[in-house]
Chain A
Amino acid sequence: MTTLIETVDLMKIYDVGDSPVHALDGVSVTIDRGDFVAVMGPSGSGKSTFMNVIGCLDRPTSGEYRFDGMDVGSLGPDDLAEIRNRKIGFVFQGFNLLSRSTALENTELPMLYSSIPSGERKKRALDSLRLLGLEGREHHRPNQLSGGQQQRVAIARALVNDAPIVFADEPTGNLDAKTSVEIMELFVRLNRESGITMVVVTHDPDVAAFSRRVIRFLDGRVVSDVAVEK
């Protein structure tokens, strides 16, 4: 398997008040293409900061980060936006859909920023929604959809630009147990059938159980990194 993500001694330091806070304190992790990783840890352990940094939403204070062979540390904000746009899909706890736009428009959103003609945009968004079983919901707004449906729209949006990796930050945090399982099974299917690399940040062991590898954070450091026994 080829390496997709490689971090070396990643540091993220926030200046809050008098003493600096080490949100990431020397994190070195490698994630291979096609892997399914759960990132766990209590709140404040640095797991979300880790996801933001490797998701190119945030930049590390120091350390090296290579994504798909590129040295991300040397890239500017526009290049990071480009990577997020074409190579990364995000799924958030609060769904983060545009509330005034329909499911279809939300799914089209990443393609608006990658110069794809509107006809193809619509076709790909519809395909993506169909893949997630949202046929007939294309013109519903988020407030007309259930939580599980909203999260599936968010996943459709994450997949629409054919990103090789999806980052999910507490994707089941706002969902009931049954829907949570459905979403996680969906992730497993995407990972297995489409070879999409999954990184799921969670504090829920049941959710982590769907992954193949669990990385635990505490106080900004990786304290364990083990394969899940099936």
Chain B
Amino acid sequence: MISIPSTLKISIRALWVNKMRSSLTMLGIIIGVGAVIAMLAVGTGASRKISQQIASIGSNLIIVIPGSMTQGGVRLGAGAQSTLSREDAEAIGRECPAVQAVSAEMRRAAQVVYGNQNWATAIQGLEPGALEVRDWGLVDGRNFSEQDVRNATKVCLLGQTVVDSLFGSMDPVGQIVRIRKIPFVVIGVLEKKGQSPIGQDQDDVVFIPITTALKKVFGTTHAGTIGSIMVKAVSTEALPEAERQVTELLRQRHRIGPGREDDFTVRNLTSMLQVAEQSTKVMTLLLGAIASVSLLVGGIGIMNIMLVSVTERTREIGIRMAVGAKARDIRLQFIIEALTLSLIGGVTGILVGVTVSGILSALAGWSTEVSILSIFLAFGFSALVGIFFGFYPAYKASLLHPIDALRHE
């Protein structure tokens, strides 16, 4: 029985003699493996981006906004009514076990002025719990307290974009800014959060206590009503339950009888994105599957060349058999040859795939991510291709009769 290292040496020499042919055959595998790696990288990158977006809006979020309303035959959109109150928010926090944190909020556009600088931004009134709801931290200063909310203190937290626009590189904490001519003390700076899933700059915002917003800055048509309620469920699994509890509680509080429409809308932001993530995963699989087809074609190329090689080297096979090579020695030699082709092709393909992914993200700006799994997958797959498509030619070679093989011209 011949040893594997000796066989490997014979195979590499045989492949080296036909350099052009061997490299063209490998090219099939290189393209196949490269395509699988690059396609999976594009897919994985896309779903990673979506996951990051989910994380950036805060996980397990539910948003409650007032319902639509019809005024003189004209149906106004969702949020047109003023049906939600701070008491609703407090009740949700108190009575829904699937809810971890809750924040009553309102949002208006306004000009913020500091010294001779001014900036139009979104002023958001909210509860101290709002930061926990959004998984949002502070880089400087402090969050406002329950007491600030109770007393409707004139304090604010600034988003990064606002800080950059008004203060440049200066430390804003302790400075006074004016919103609608009312002076506010900056007590904290929010962490940078980046774009929202729909491309909004989440850092272009100023947070003030909800009570300050309601009583001192904006006021509302109906006293005590608010813009929206943000709810954070205790876990992703608890989201549907939290949604149900919130809906039930609000219907009760708003005295909506059975069969009548809600005067509010509950939206589950996370689940929307999860659907998007799911579809990206399907997309990734699909891209990978299409790329695998070219790997298959590469494998057929190997089989083709191995069959030619067996025919060309019939005499060599005869000589080897005459001096004592067994059928399995011949089989091993040709399988190792096919395997060498496919594995060298596989490794080169991995390098090509990684490079192409890099080029795609650099030139096209796609986020790509080459996963370790996809590398192992591609490598294993190319080895399988080598064994599978190498076996038949090798088997055919091993069936040769020594006399016939020796006489072959």
Which A residues are within 8 Å of any B CB, using their own CB? 52, 57-58, 77-78, 81-82, 84-86, 90, 92, 96-98, 100-101, 109-110, 112-115, 118, 157, 161
In the docked arrangement, what's the CA distance between A158 and B321, Å? 13
- For residue B406, CB closer than 8 A to chain A, the reply is yes
Binds A, one of B75-83, B263-271, B295-303, B323-331: B323-331
The answer on a CB contact under 8 Å between A114 and B324 is: yes
- For residue B3, CB closer than 8 A to chain A, the reply is yes
- For residue B1, CB closer than 8 A to chain A, the reply is yes
The answer on a CB contact under 8 Å between A96 and B324 is: no
The answer on a CB contact under 8 Å between A78 and B326 is: yes
In the docked arrangement, what's the CA distance between A101 and B14, Å? 10
The answer on a CB contact under 8 Å between A52 and B326 is: no
In the docked arrangement, what's the CA distance between A96 and B324, Å? 14
Residues of A contacting B319 in the complex (Cβ-Cβ under 8 angstroms): 96-98, 109
Which B residues are within 8 Å of any A CB, using their own CB? 1-3, 6, 13-14, 17, 315-316, 318-329, 401-403, 406
The answer on a CB contact under 8 Å between B1 and A113 is: yes
The answer on a CB contact under 8 Å between B316 and A98 is: yes
Q: A77-B327, A81-B321 are in contact. Are A100 and B2 (CB under 8 A)?
A: no
Residues of A contacting B323 in the complex (Cβ-Cβ under 8 angstroms): 84-85, 90, 109-110, 113, 157
Residues of A contacting B321 in the complex (Cβ-Cβ under 8 angstroms): 81, 84
Q: Can you pick out 16 interface pairs between chain A and chain B where the beta carbons lie within 8 Å of each other?
A: A57-B403, A58-B402, A77-B326, A78-B326, A78-B327, A92-B406, A96-B318, A96-B322, A100-B17, A110-B324, A112-B2, A112-B3, A113-B1, A113-B324, A113-B329, A118-B6
Nearest A residue to B17 via CB reads: A100
Residues of B contacting A118 in the complex (Cβ-Cβ under 8 angstroms): 6
In the docked arrangement, what's the CA distance between A110 and B402, Å? 15
Chain B nearest Cβ from A230, distance in angstroms: 32
Residues of B contacting A96 in the complex (Cβ-Cβ under 8 angstroms): 315, 318-319, 322, 406
Instruction: Find the residue from A77, A84, A113 having the highest chain B CB count within 10 A.
Output: A113
Instruction: Find the residue from A58, A92, A112 having the highest chain B CB count within 10 A.
Output: A112
Chain A nearest Cβ from B111, distance in angstroms: 84
Residues of B contacting A112 in the complex (Cβ-Cβ under 8 angstroms): 2-3, 6
Partner of B322, one of A82, A84, A115: A84
Chain A nearest Cβ from B269, distance in angstroms: 68
Q: Count the A-B residue pairs with Cβ separation under 8 angstroms: how many?
A: 65
Residues of B contacting A98 in the complex (Cβ-Cβ under 8 angstroms): 316, 319
Chain B nearest Cβ from A3, distance in angstroms: 23
In the docked arrangement, what's the CA distance between A86 and B324, Å? 8
In the docked arrangement, what's the CA distance between A98 and B3, Å? 19
The answer on a CB contact under 8 Å between A90 and B6 is: no
In the docked arrangement, what's the CA distance between A97 and B65, Å? 88
The answer on a CB contact under 8 Å between A57 and B324 is: no
The answer on a CB contact under 8 Å between A52 and B324 is: no
Chain B nearest Cβ from A39, distance in angstroms: 17
The answer on a CB contact under 8 Å between B6 and A100 is: no
In the docked arrangement, what's the CA distance between A98 and B402, Å? 15
The answer on a CB contact under 8 Å between B327 and A58 is: no
In the docked arrangement, what's the CA distance between A60 and B107, Å? 99
Residues of B contacting A82 in the complex (Cβ-Cβ under 8 angstroms): 324, 326
In the docked arrangement, what's the CA distance between A118 and B5, Å? 10
The answer on a CB contact under 8 Å between A81 and B1 is: no
In the docked arrangement, what's the CA distance between A118 and B13, Å? 17
The answer on a CB contact under 8 Å between B1 and A115 is: yes
The answer on a CB contact under 8 Å between B327 and A113 is: no
In the docked arrangement, what's the CA distance between A90 and B321, Å? 11
In the docked arrangement, what's the CA distance between A118 and B2, Å? 11
Chain A nearest Cβ from B331, distance in angstroms: 12
Residues of B contacting A77 in the complex (Cβ-Cβ under 8 angstroms): 326-327
Nearest A residue to B7 via CB reads: A112
Chain B nearest Cβ from A146, distance in angstroms: 20
The answer on a CB contact under 8 Å between B2 and A113 is: yes
Q: A77-B326, A92-B406, A118-B6 are in contact. Are A109 and B320 (CB under 8 A)?
A: yes
Chain B nearest Cβ from A167, distance in angstroms: 10
The answer on a CB contact under 8 Å between B17 and A81 is: no
Nearest B residue to A99 via CB reads: B316
Residues of A contacting B17 in the complex (Cβ-Cβ under 8 angstroms): 100
Instruction: Find the residue from A84, A86, A115 having the highest chain B CB count within 10 A.
Output: A84
Chain A nearest Cβ from B9, distance in angstroms: 10
Q: A82-B324, A96-B319, A109-B320 are in contact. Are A115 and B403 (CB under 8 A)?
A: no
Nearest B residue to A100 via CB reads: B17
List the 6 closest pairs (A to B, CB-CB), nearest first.
Answer: A85-B324, A110-B323, A113-B324, A81-B326, A57-B402, A78-B326
Residues of A contacting B14 in the complex (Cβ-Cβ under 8 angstroms): 100
In the docked arrangement, what's the CA distance between A113 and B322, Å? 11
Chain B nearest Cβ from A90, distance in angstroms: 5
In the docked arrangement, what's the CA distance between A212 and B401, Å? 33
